[in-house]
Structure 1
Amino acid sequence: MEYIYLLIAFIFGFGFRLLNLPPLIGYLIAGFILNVWGIENNDTLQTIADMGITIMLFTIGLKLNIQDLLKREIWVSSILHTAIWVAFISAVFTLLSILGLPYFVGMEPSTAALIGFAFSFSSTVCVVKILEESGEGKTRHGKVAIGILVMQDIFAVLFMVFVTGQVPSIYALLLFLLVPMIPLFHKLLNESGHGELLPLTGFIFALGGYQLFELVGIKGDLGALIFGILVSGHSKATELSKSLLSFKDLFLIGFFLTIGLTALPTLEIVFIALLITFLLPIKFYLFFILLTKFRLRARTSFLSGLVMSNYSEFGLIVAAVAVSVGLLDNVWLVIIALSVSFSFVFTSIMYKNSHNQYKRHKEALKKFQSPVSLKEDVYPHMGKTKVLVIGMGRVGKGAFTTLAKLMEHGVTGMDADLEKVNALKEEKYEAILGDGENIDLWENVDISNIELILLALPSIEDSSNITNQLRSASYKGKIAAIARYEDEVQPLLDVGVDKVFNFFTEAGLGFAEESFEMLSK
């Protein structure tokens, strides 16, 4: 990629980052700027863009949990949402065609349905980024959102496979031999270590899967996804995904630049993109209604629907494939690109205050909630808990196990990650599944006997939010929390935390004290 491409992409990406918005909006604008300067798409940039899509599909496969996808609330709601949304968009576009709006006049129903399909996806990049930044990737609503995203990604890959009209070779049947080769793939991952060889192994899997499927007449994108699934059960799958994250994001810059180089937006195009963006509340409402109908709690449905109220870069990919085979006009790539950008701004703003929004409207929202909860949503019992540790990361687990040994009874650990909770139970510790930011949880469990709650969370916003909810639920005991920096201590004390431990200062003090004791032995 020429230096000017990187420089312009960096300037606009960095600018949007300073505005606390996704940098990829800046990359799209950078593509438009380069287009104005007369720069055209080229083979090098297109190759980089294609590689970004391939790596993205491989990393999606790495995160895929078949058991989660088989849950009815995931796969049925995903199918229904896509079908209803496509029908809704088709009806809206037909109406706009009748009204004579530019780019809609004379639009065929099949074209309207195709565009509706492109807009049915929610953004994997946007949703995962928001969930990771808020520490909610392993929460109930986070896992529901990611499960639906994976289902949508599968729909997109299947579309890209079938729309090209390729007839697979008879040798495609040999691909089933990949299943007995899974132990070999796992062995390769085991031996790849934790350094630079690990992401290189990921590249070999992703690009190898792409090329192998292309050889037998199947779209290579599906091959990248399948290879990700084949190694998703390995213990290093998460580490591999993280090691590829920066490469994936860097290559996807090429994809967003190519969209900007396709065509330039006019005022009419911007207006249409904004009009489509205004439909996002309906997308949220549809998610919320469907999820509550499948017996998820109102809070889970609300947060899952809100974080998925956006349009997807995958919709752009689907549209790009449709353009390449003549099913869609180039101008819709620009409209979709702008709509995706506007939708990211919408979600970023709306989700920032999502927990407080739910708290304000929870009584109205809970009217949609089923009286019978799913097994995963049953509230835990605190039993004879005297000390509750929330957050089973390295710090939280260390504090919890130490207290459990000192007190023997009455210490309970809580985390929103089921895997962490099950691991503690296997070690014979008292552990419960729960999201500390869930106001419904504190209002439905007996916390009157708890004397001390430790908030071992990396985000002071999360700790502040939980403290406010505990006090709102009439908790009378003590609250302790951790802070990473000195300027985080006072804000926690101001919201009602009784004791704040500066993580780095206290860790250094403990290290020094225990090391000094060695001198007297």
Structure 2
Amino acid sequence: MAIDLLLNILIFLAAAILIVPIFKWLGLGEVLGYLVAGVVIGPSLLGLVPDAEGVLQFSQVGIVFLLFVIGLELKPARLKVMRKTVFGFGTLQVAITTLLLSLGAWSLGLPPVASLVVGFSLGLCSTPLVLHLLGERKELQTRHGRNAFALLLFQDLAAIPVLAAIPILATDSLMANGLMPLIHEMVISTGAFAGLIIGGRYLLRPLFRLAAGTQSREVFAGTALLVVIGAALLMELAGLSMALGAFIAGVLLADSEYRHNIEADIEPFRGLLLGLFFMAVGMTAQIDLLGSAPLMIGGLTLVLLLTKGLSMVLAARLFGSSWRDALNLGMLLSQGGEFAFVLLTAAGAAALLADDLVNLLVLVVSLSMATTPVLFMIHARWIRPLFRKPHSQPNYDRPEDESPQIIIAGFGRFGQIMGRALQGLKIPYTVLDINADHVEFVRRYGNKVYFGDASRIDLLRAAGADKARVLVIAVGDIEPSMRIVERVQRQFPHLKIYARARNRYHAQLLMRAGVSHLIRELLPASLELTRDVLIELGIAPDKAQHTIDTFRPHDEQALLRQLEVFGNEKKQIQTVQEAARELETLYEADEEVTTRAPDHSMSSGARHET
């Protein structure tokens, strides 16, 4: 038994390592690679791992961990904000998709109840597939990414009562026994749901506080696994979704101080088991059915993709999304989902659907999942750019020339500090900031800020650049900053430029452009913190301050020497290394002077000289 288990693990790892990188290299994504790897080692082709159903059931744990991690990143306050999208958009999409697919199934000869179950099952999307694709492309925080997550969350919630109702709908028990069995199931489910929320709210933090107190990473990781699996098992025993239980547990811990540690411990399990889930989906796909009726299965898959894609676009537009976001959602959420396997299998077990039909629909869902990474890649590369908004001229504000002494370009964290000081001194200044949302935000706090591009000569002139004495470039991005410098020097040579440098490279660019008044934004704060750290280590405050006072001019000289070899990476590296050795020598010389100091007069003058 142990040998068989190790052999199966070896086969899964070998298939993933050999096949998944090829699909990533082709730009098709990891998910499709896992699906194909599952098909290759599954019963349909090589048959290296025969028990595909057992693997699929075990791999559902990967979805559990995925939903737990998502819950960790979704604070209750944010979930409350999303309620309109979750229940509004979710209800609208599920209703439209279920109606269209159910009508299609009914027109093919299925009874009304069976058609409704098939339509709802096929209308669900794949949570792990979609979230994995969004994560790969770093689009989880986009508008369509947030809407997709809200929709998937609603679908998972909506699948629960349908799964509980299938055994009742499939028989005459509803007519014979009335609504009592269904009500009984709902009471149990509601009790488990409420018990998890209430118990988790008061027990989870003390549990993790106790685990953290052991100072054992193994105990802490074990506690995290206990919570995830325990919450999932509770929901499963109550007839609900394991993934939903894990998601709720994650949300309850999203505000805790242990969130990042828990996420770090869970992440390796999540990644491995999620990959195993996609491979298991590929293993369960009965490719022999595709060989026996390729046109019918291909046609059904195409109809499913088109119907879901169009219904998704329709629902998104009705909900108020732009065409761009609606098309993103349509291409991303056109596949069937893993809950379809569960619901269709339950319908087959309850004699609501024939086994042959269940196998056929499961294959169609699997193929739709396999096509999604390719379709979304094609959409992202060639279709999405067609819907980009043309670069139009923004409707900038026209600043009022109030004869300011100072113009500040950029009013982020850096510029606001200067603005507060100038305002306290009642020194007039004008602010230009190119971020419209940020301008609107800081205006609510009483700041007089104009929406405008500080590299525009007409806006600068309207802001009083002809009369002002100083221009402060507080823009953080290097390219816009340098564009402002170049145009101001040409059009307003009398303006003294004081600039914020993002880093050493930016500082060198400014210096090459002739800007002598500049400050690297992180240098003062980092030196001040360094001084405090040295004092904490037991170094005398005056010595710690002397260390910083020695570093600052030395660093400025090093920056000037690096400026002389700007663009020559080899010489830049050599200059940095030389500067590091020189700094060590300076500190060693200071240490020798300090060591010899007791041998001389201890007068205040001698100490000052040292």
Normalising by structure 1, report the TM-score.
0.64
Mapped to 2, the partners of 1:175 and 1:134 lie a distance apart of: 34
Structure 1 residue 150 displacement after superposition: 1.4
Structure 1 residue 336 displacement after superposition: 1.1
Deviations along 1:113-151, whole A, 9 cap, x unmatched?
A: 333323323333343344434443323333222212211
Mapped to 2, the partners of 1:380 and 1:189 lie a distance apart of: 53
How does 1:246-285 map onto structure 2 within 5 Å? 246-262=268-284, 263-265=286-288, 266-267=290-291, 270-275=294-299, 276-277=301-302, 280-285=305-310
Letter of the 2:91 counterpart: I
Q: For residue 441 of structure 1, what is the aligned residue in structure 2?
A: none
How does 1:50-89 map onto structure 2 within 5 Å? 50-62=60-72, 65-71=78-84, 73-89=85-101
Structure 1 residue 345 displacement after superposition: 1.2
Letter of the 1:141 counterpart: H
Structure 1 unaligned blocks of 5 or more: 98-105, 364-378, 390-399, 433-444, 458-462, 465-479, 490-497, 499-505
3-state SS of 1:330 partner: helix
Structure 1 residue 346 displacement after superposition: 0.6
Mapped to 2, the partners of 1:197 and 1:43 lie a distance apart of: 32
Mapped to 2, the partners of 1:282 and 1:220 lie a distance apart of: 29
CA 111–137 in structure 1, closer or farther in 2 if over 3 Å, else same: same
CA 361–83 in structure 1, closer or farther in 2 if over 3 Å, else same: farther
Shifted more, 33-42 versus 269-278: the winner is 269-278
Structure 1 residue 337 displacement after superposition: 0.5
Contact 1:307 1:351 survives alignment (8 Å)? no
Deviations along 1:469-489, whole A, 9 cap, x unmatched?
A: xxxxxxxxxxx9999xx9xx9
Contact 1:63 1:232 survives alignment (8 Å)? yes
Contact 2:335 2:365 survives alignment (8 Å)? no
Mapped to 2, the partners of 1:132 and 1:46 lie a distance apart of: 23
Q: For residue 41 of structure 1, what is the aligned residue in structure 2?
A: 51
CA 383–186 in structure 1, closer or farther in 2 if over 3 Å, else same: farther
Mapped to 2, the partners of 1:414 and 1:184 lie a distance apart of: 44
2:367 is matched with which residue: 338, 360, 363?
A: 338
1:14 is matched with which residue: 5, 18, 21?
A: 21
Identity %: 21
Deviations along 1:340-361, whole A, 9 cap, x unmatched?
A: 1112211122023565221279
Contact 1:292 1:298 survives alignment (8 Å)? yes
How does 1:66-215 map onto structure 2 within 5 Å? 66-71=79-84, 73-95=85-107, 97=108, 106-163=109-166, 168=185, 173=191, 176-181=194-199, 182-189=201-208, 200-214=222-236
Letter of the 2:413 counterpart: T
Structure 1 residue 83 displacement after superposition: 1.7
3-state SS of 1:410 partner: strand
Letter of the 1:48 counterpart: F
Q: How many residues align?
A: 432
Mapped to 2, the partners of 1:158 and 1:453 lie a distance apart of: 56
CA 410–382 in structure 1, closer or farther in 2 if over 3 Å, else same: same
Structure 1 residue 186 displacement after superposition: 3.1
Letter of the 1:21 counterpart: L
Highest Rg: 1 or 2? 2
Contact 1:210 1:222 survives alignment (8 Å)? yes
1:28 correspondence with 2:50: no
Mapped to 2, the partners of 1:242 and 1:273 lie a distance apart of: 42
Contact 1:51 1:251 survives alignment (8 Å)? yes
Structure 1 residue 41 displacement after superposition: 0.9
Structure 1 residue 44 displacement after superposition: 6.3
Mapped to 2, the partners of 1:210 and 1:357 lie a distance apart of: 43
Contact 1:199 1:244 survives alignment (8 Å)? yes
Mapped to 1, the partners of 2:264 and 2:160 lie a distance apart of: 22
Mapped to 2, the partners of 1:188 and 1:426 lie a distance apart of: 45
3-state SS of 2:271 partner: helix
CA 184–209 in structure 1, closer or farther in 2 if over 3 Å, else same: same
Structure 2 unaligned blocks of 5 or more: 169-180, 400-406, 421-429, 457-472, 481-499, 507-512, 514-520, 528-550, 556-582, 591-610
3-state SS of 1:20 partner: coil
How does 1:340-379 map onto structure 2 within 5 Å? 340-353=369-382, 355-359=384-388
Structure 1 residue 338 displacement after superposition: 1.1
Contact 1:404 1:411 survives alignment (8 Å)? no
Contact 1:311 1:344 survives alignment (8 Å)? no
2:431 is matched with which residue: 410, 432, 440?
A: 410
Structure 1 residue 195 displacement after superposition: 6.2
Mapped to 1, the partners of 2:263 and 2:448 lie a distance apart of: 28
Mapped to 1, the partners of 2:298 and 2:122 lie a distance apart of: 13
Structure 1 residue 333 displacement after superposition: 1.6
Contact 1:309 1:347 survives alignment (8 Å)? no
Q: For residue 314 of structure 2, what is the aligned residue in structure 1?
A: 289
Contact 1:136 1:142 survives alignment (8 Å)? yes
CA 292–449 in structure 1, closer or farther in 2 if over 3 Å, else same: farther
Mapped to 1, the partners of 2:329 and 2:218 lie a distance apart of: 35
Mapped to 2, the partners of 1:14 and 1:359 lie a distance apart of: 31
Contact 1:311 1:343 survives alignment (8 Å)? no
Mapped to 2, the partners of 1:222 and 1:212 lie a distance apart of: 10
Letter of the 2:96 counterpart: I
Deviations along 1:371-401, whole A, 9 cap, x unmatched?
A: xxxxxxxx99989796458xxxxxxxxxx53
CA 415–204 in structure 1, closer or farther in 2 if over 3 Å, else same: farther
Contact 2:197 2:252 survives alignment (8 Å)? yes
Letter of the 1:83 counterpart: A
Letter of the 1:120 counterpart: G
Q: For residue 537 of structure 2, what is the aligned residue in structure 1?
A: none
Contact 2:133 2:373 survives alignment (8 Å)? no
CA 240–309 in structure 1, closer or farther in 2 if over 3 Å, else same: farther
Structure 1 residue 40 displacement after superposition: 1.6
CA 177–338 in structure 1, closer or farther in 2 if over 3 Å, else same: closer
Structure 1 residue 247 displacement after superposition: 1.9
Mapped to 2, the partners of 1:74 and 1:170 lie a distance apart of: 24
Shifted more, 256-265 versus 330-339: the winner is 256-265
Contact 2:159 2:339 survives alignment (8 Å)? yes
